[in-house]
Amino acid sequence: GAVVSQHPSWVICKSGTSVKIECRSLDFQATTMFWYRQFPKQSLMLMATSNEGSKATYEQGVEKDKFLINHASLTLSTLTVTSAHPEDSSFYICSAPKAGETQQFFGPGTRLTVL
């Protein structure tokens, strides 16, 4: 299978600061990556689709100015939570499809806690 990593695995920040989360495909190139959010004891909800070389597409209700996505290369997508607030505390997970494979591969997730 393919490997997707995320960094950091967890982060604690003060309210009002910005936090950047990286998602990397380690052994394949990914023109598309997906960002999901999971609140405690809930399911994963798709936030946005990250497209290499073009703007991300956001799901309804997700603020694009608050959750900045940059797909700078074929192996890296970043999610920046700007001016984070306690309600942004969540588990953020990225995924990427690999060409020639039918299943998706998920990163280990990043747990964000905003104080």
Partner 1 sequence: GIQVEQSPPDLILQEGANSTLRCNFSDSVNNLQWFHQNPWGQLINLFYIPSGTKQNGRLSATTVATERYSLLYISSSQTTDSGVYFCAVEVSNSGYALNFGKGTSLLVTP
Question: Quick check: 70 binds partner 1 (CB under 8 A)?
Answer: no
Burial code of 35-48, b = ≥16 C-beta within 10 A, e = fewer? Answer: bbbeeeeeebeebb
Q: Does the footprint of partner 1 cover residue 97 (CB under 8 A)?
A: yes
Contact between 11 and partner 1 (CB under 8 A)? no
Contact call for residue 106 and partner 1 (CB under 8 A): yes
Closest by alpha carbon to 78, among 52, 111, 39, 99?
Answer: 52
Question: Considering the rule CB under 8 A, would residue 42 count as an interface residue with partner 1?
Answer: yes
Contacts of 42 (CB under 8 A, 6+ apart): none
Residues that bind partner 1 (CB under 8 A): 1, 32, 34, 36, 38, 42-46, 49, 91, 93, 95, 97, 102-106, 108-109, 111
